[in-house]
């Protein structure tokens, strides 16, 4: 049973629900690579990226040549 006072239940899930209500989608990139080789452009895990879907996919294809890294985050 999940702890009802966890960060996930008090912060992460409500934030995800809020952004989804504003027509954003989200990726769970727990295993993301940071820095220059990262796919979201984040330097550290606490950075937030708000990108249009087509911008993200086009950037991955341009910088990495395929959608493998993108699909790893889905």
Binned average pLDDT, 10 residues per bin, the chain of 74 residues: 83 89 80 82 82 63 59 56
DSSP string, 14-63: HHHHHHHHTT------TTPPPSTT-SS--SSTT------HHHHHHHHHHH
The pLDDT, as a whole number, for residue 30 is: 80
pTM: 0.53
The pLDDT, as a whole number, for residue 36 is: 82
């Amino acid at each position: 049973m999940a702890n009802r006072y966890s960060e996930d239940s008090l912060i992460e899930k409500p934030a995800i629900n809020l952004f989804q209500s504003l027509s954003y989608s989200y990726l769970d990139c727990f295993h993301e690579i940071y820095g220059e080789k990262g796919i979201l452009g984040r330097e550290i895990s606490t950075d937030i990226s708000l990108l249009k879907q087509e911008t993200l996919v086009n950037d991955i294809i341009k910088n990495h040549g395929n959608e493998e890294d993108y699909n790893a985050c889905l």
